[in-house]
Amino acid sequence: MTITPWEDALPNIWPIARLKYVCQAVGGGTPDKGRPEYWGGDIPWVSPKDMKTNRIVDTEDHISEEGLQNSATQIVPSNAVLIVMRSGILRHSIPVAINTLPVALNQDMRALLPDERLEPKYLAWFIEGLQDRLLKSWSKVGATVESLESDLVGDTLVPIPPKSEQLAIIRLLDAETAHIESLIAAKQQLLDLLAEKRQTVTELAVTQGLSSSSRMRESGVAWLGEVPQHWQIERARWLFRERDLRSETGDEELLTVSHITGVTPRSDKDVNMFQAESNEGYKICFPGDLVINTLWAWMGAMGVAPQKGIVSPSYHVYEPVCRLEPAYIDALVRVPVFAQEVTRYSKGVWSSRLRLYPEGFFEVYLPVPPLSEQRAIVDYIAKQTNKIDALRSAAEETIKLLRERRAALIAATVTGQITLESTA
């Protein structure tokens, strides 16, 4: 018999059985998407996108009785253990949930129906608590997509405590994880508030300045409102000129532009991104140049280049006049209200297809404080955001520790490492 990684930690009185001997496995299917009469009915149809919670009370998609009868899916009774068998999320976790109502499944799902020896919720906690180890033992070797092997799932040895202990484990984990999740939710709320404060600090500083005693005047520009009386308001056409210098080799540092990070080296991105065979003909930008992602400007994908490099030929590069502090411009163009403003000057039929071309950008009005004040604003933003970021890092670390504590608690409890007072 194969020894499971957790078997030696189990109490001697707990029997062990292979999952296929204590559960019936039920798969699913997808009704023909080309038959509208198969869809929009009253039957909840679970797919991996519904597995963001440990209780399925409804689904995004529903099928009709006709769709059920003319596909491979079937009705799964309530109180089954649902797991994802095929999805990119299996790279790092196994989504597991209990359905509170009868459902149908798509082909990427599997339902486990335990017999009278096994409480469904105990089995769900077992899978969640040991998912790191189960992912390794259930995954298909050499698969091109993330998926679990049905035979490996069925051959898994699972502990079967007495029913009274299973119920005690469920009660303990329900209570303790609910407490931990409430702490995580509170920390997440703090992160949301810190992100909002960070945005507000920047937006107020770049549009209203730092002195509460400054005399204000109406700017005449809707997105700006009132500005300090001594600030200038100018169109972008007087503040920037387009730079269209092309690389002859494409060997310079490749930069990317996003609404999240602004302008950064592509080498810093820990993601798979499309890469052209050659970067010859890409646009050269210099430190301090404003770079705008033409396609995603409406989302705020713009910023100031921190170094010399090259960007996609479909982007636009602008050289600022000497009266502009690059870091001030970077802060200004990355506030959401500025992205909303440039959308007015973008071209396209649909909002998701808008393009910001130079003739549109040059129509935008920008606030221009004295250069010394721009630098003071940049310093202020840096100090304030450093404080906020320190609080954010502490909150994120707490969330990480709470999640680790939750995972350790579940794993230890379902394998009998925590002593429980069982109740009949």
What are the tens digits of pLDDT across the range 294-303?
Answer: 999 999 999 9
Residues whose CB is less than 8 angstroms from the CB of residue 41 and which lie 6 or more positions away in sequence, other chains included: 62, 63, 64, 65, 66, 67
Rounded distance between C-alpha atoms, residue 328 and residue 323, angstroms: 11
What pLDDT score was predicted for residue 367? Answer: 97
Q: What is the mean pLDDT of each run of 10 residues along the chain (424 residues)?
A: 50 84 95 95 96 94 95 95 93 94 96 96 95 88 76 93 94 96 97 95 96 92 94 96 93 92 83 64 96 94 96 96 96 95 89 88 97 97 97 97 95 84 44
pLDDT digits (tens, 9 = 90+) for 189-213: 999 999 999 999 999 999 999 988 8
Structure tokens at 154: 């069925």
pTM reported for the whole predicted model? 0.80
Measured N-to-C along each axis, helices 163-208 and 326-333 cross at an angle, to the nearest 10 degrees, of: 130
398: how many CB neighbours lie within 10 A of its CB? 15
What pLDDT score was predicted for residue 2? Answer: 44
Instruction: State the pairing for strand pair 81-84/96-99.
Output: antiparallel
| 355, 292 Cβ separation under 8 angstroms | no
What pLDDT score was predicted for residue 146? Answer: 85
What pLDDT score was predicted for residue 269? Answer: 67
**Structural domains in the chain?**
7-161 (3.90.220.20), 163-216+369-416 (1.10.287), 232-367 (3.90.220.20)
| 289, 329 Cβ separation under 8 angstroms | no
What pLDDT score was predicted for residue 1? Answer: 37
Rounded distance between C-alpha atoms, residue 66 and residue 32, angstroms: 11
- How many Å from the N-terminal Cα to the C-terminal Cα in the chain? 32
Structure tokens at 293: 């992602």
Structure tokens at 162: 């007495």
Rounded distance between C-alpha atoms, residue 238 and residue 417, angstroms: 71
Structure tokens at 122: 């105990």
What pLDDT score was predicted for residue 156? Answer: 93
Rounded distance between C-alpha atoms, residue 274 and residue 348, angstroms: 24
| 323, 236 Cβ separation under 8 angstroms | no
What pLDDT score was predicted for residue 422? Answer: 42
Convert the chain into a string of H (helix), E (strand) and C (coil): CCCCCCHHHCCCCCCEEEHHHHEEEECCCCCCCCCHHHEEEEEEEECHHHCCCCEECCCCEEECHHHHHCCCCCCECCCCEEEECECHHHHCCCCEEEECCCEEECCCEEEEEECCCCCHHHHHHHHHHCHHHHHHHHECCCCCCCEECHHHHHCCEEECCCHHHHHHHHHHHHHHHHHHHHHHHHHHHHHHHHHHHHHHHHHHHHHHCCCCCCCEEECCCCCCCEEECCCEEEEHHHCEEEECCECCCCCCCEEEEECCCEEEEHHHCCCCCCCCCCCCCCEEECCCCEEECCCCHHHCCEEECCCCEEECCCCEEEEECCCCCHHHHHHHHCCHHHHHHHHCCCECCCHHHCECCHHHHCCCEEEECCHHHHHHHHHHHHHHHHHHHHHHHHHHHHHHHHHHHHHHHHHHHHCCCCCCCCCC
Q: What angle do CA 30, 33, 38 make, to 5 degrees?
A: 80
